[in-house]
Amino acid sequence: MKQVKLAALALGLAVGLAACGGSNNANNTNTGNKMTSGTTVKEVNPAHVMHNAMSGSTMNINMGAMNGSKQDGSASIVNKGNGVLVTLHINNEPKSASEPAHIHQGTCKNINPAPWKPLKNVINGTSQTLVASVTIAQLKKAHYAINVHKSANELKVYVSCGDLTI
């Protein structure tokens, strides 16, 4: 029985990893690489969500590049006192950029464009924010996503996104 469970786990991991290497170009229907209110995001590969690790006190999230930005990376959320510490690591951020980041309600594929909780801007590929009065348990009860925007002047252009829930 143990061998069957291990084989099933290995197969699931192999399928998930193979899916992340693939392209999702068939779903890339956003025109002009800009998002408008109510637009459905389709560029993030949903298979990346499989890799999001969640435990009682930590969440690890894969951030997927959007709109041709090549800005993928990772995020971690850790319970810290009466809040959570959100740390972002974004690859390929343009030099001298300051990219706004937020937690939004919804998922990367169907996000509420109004920010739910602001995060510090991503600068030199990193951002770290203590978000008060939020817990990982609360984040697990609904659909949320971390979204990184191109700039303060181009908030409708999303460059990276990661779902907090599976």
Instruction: Tell me what pLDDT residue 28 has.
Output: 30
User: What is the domain-level CATH number for residue 114?
Assistant: 2.60.40
- In the chain (166 residues long), the average pLDDT of successive 10-residue segments reads 40 35 31 35 40 65 97 97 96 97 97 96 98 94 96 96 85
Instruction: Tell me what pLDDT residue 165 has.
Output: 72
Instruction: Tell me what pLDDT residue 56 has.
Output: 67
Instruction: Tell me what pLDDT residue 10 has.
Output: 39
Q: Give the residue numbers spanning the domain of 81.
A: 2-163
CB atoms within 10 A of CB 157: 18
Instruction: Tell me what pLDDT residue 48 has.
Output: 39
146 within 8 A of 101, measured Cβ to Cβ: yes
Provide the token pair at 129.
Answer: 């924010």
Q: What is the DSSP letter of 49?
A: G
Domains in the chain: how many in total?
A: 1
> Strand pairing of 83-90 and 73-80?
antiparallel
Instruction: Tell me what pLDDT residue 166 has.
Output: 53
Give percent helix, percent strand, percent coil of the chain, each to the nearest 5.
20, 45, 35
